[in-house]
């Protein structure tokens, strides 16, 4: 599925007290990427799933306040580039609580393998020395989640129109939290091919950070559209 995603959130380095904001400091807007899922329906009520959502975006801006990241201070008026990368793989298992001709309601358990990185490049100062610095901070977080998934065929005895949705999340106490959700409507061209469109909050990730780990708040959300193929 094509995904017109809008990122928002902030990063702070492991030794930094103040975070930088993707929208306020760098004016991130919408950009196109993709998201997808493979569903191996191996028994009537049992599925193996694999979801993927890669995110890569860059922005260059003259900053309007001092930003300190990973020990480097980029002063107001400096031109700074940011590269944002976020790759999500989510293998999981789905059990259909009930399954009928008009749809199903299921419980989905997954492990979200999230690799998130922010990189700043520009003229900065570290230990009193001014130069061009490139500083990166990254987090790899394997986060287990669970939540419901459903599909409903509102036209009686016809699979031509379908509505589906899913939501997953988990709170990890002092470490952070994670939520993802999607809702789409599908129109079937035949019994193997349908066209789908809707909205996805692919990630809402919060890692609180520590003295040896960056802190991240990152939300990726926006409309989706694409095809679903069955065989």
List the domain boundaries for the chain: 2-226
Predicted pLDDT of residue 1 = 96
- Rounded Cα distance between 80 and 83, Å, is 10
Q: Are strands 161-171 and 176-188 parallel, antiparallel or unpaired?
A: antiparallel
For residues 229 and 231, what is the distance between their CA atoms, to the nearest angstrom?
7
Residue-level pLDDT at 15: 75
Q: What is the CB-side half-sphere exposure of residue 169 using CA atoms within 13 A?
A: 16
If 0-12 CB within 10 Å is exposed, 13-18 middle and 19+ buried, where does residue 139 land? Answer: buried
CATH assignment, 2-226: 2.40.128.90
Which residues of the chain are under the pLDDT cut of 70?
Answer: 211
What does the pLDDT read at residue 214? 85
Provide the whole-model pTM. 0.88
Distance of CA 158 to the CA centre of its chain: 33
């Amino acid at each position: 599925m094509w995904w017109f995603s809008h990122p928002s959130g902030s990063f702070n380095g492991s030794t930094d007290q103040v975070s930088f904001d993707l929208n306020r400091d760098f004016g991130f807007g919408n950009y196109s990427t993709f998201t997808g899922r493979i569903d191996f329906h191996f028994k009537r009520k049992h599925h193996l799933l694999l979801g993927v959502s890669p995110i890569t975006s860059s922005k260059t801006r003259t900053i309007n306040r001092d930003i300190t990241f990973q020990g480097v201070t980029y002063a107001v008026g400096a031109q700074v580039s940011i590269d944002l990368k976020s790759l999500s793989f989510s293998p999981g298992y789905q059990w259909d609580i009930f399954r009928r001709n008009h749809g199903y309601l299921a419980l989905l358990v997954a492990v979200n393998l999230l690799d998130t990185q922010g990189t700043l490049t520009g003229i900065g100062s570290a230990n009193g020395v001014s130069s061009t610095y490139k500083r990166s901070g990254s987090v790899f977080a394997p986060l287990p989640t669970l939540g419901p998934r459903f599909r409903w065929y509102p036209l009686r005895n016809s699979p031509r129109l379908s509505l589906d949705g899913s939501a997953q999340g988990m709170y990890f106490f002092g470490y952070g939290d994670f939520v993802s959700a999607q809702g789409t409507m599908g129109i079937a061209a035949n019994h193997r091919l349908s066209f789908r469109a809707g909205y996805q909050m692919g990630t809402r990730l919060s890692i609180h950070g520590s003295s040896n780990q960056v802190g991240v708040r990152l939300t990726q959300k926006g409309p989706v559209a694409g095809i679903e193929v069955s065989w």
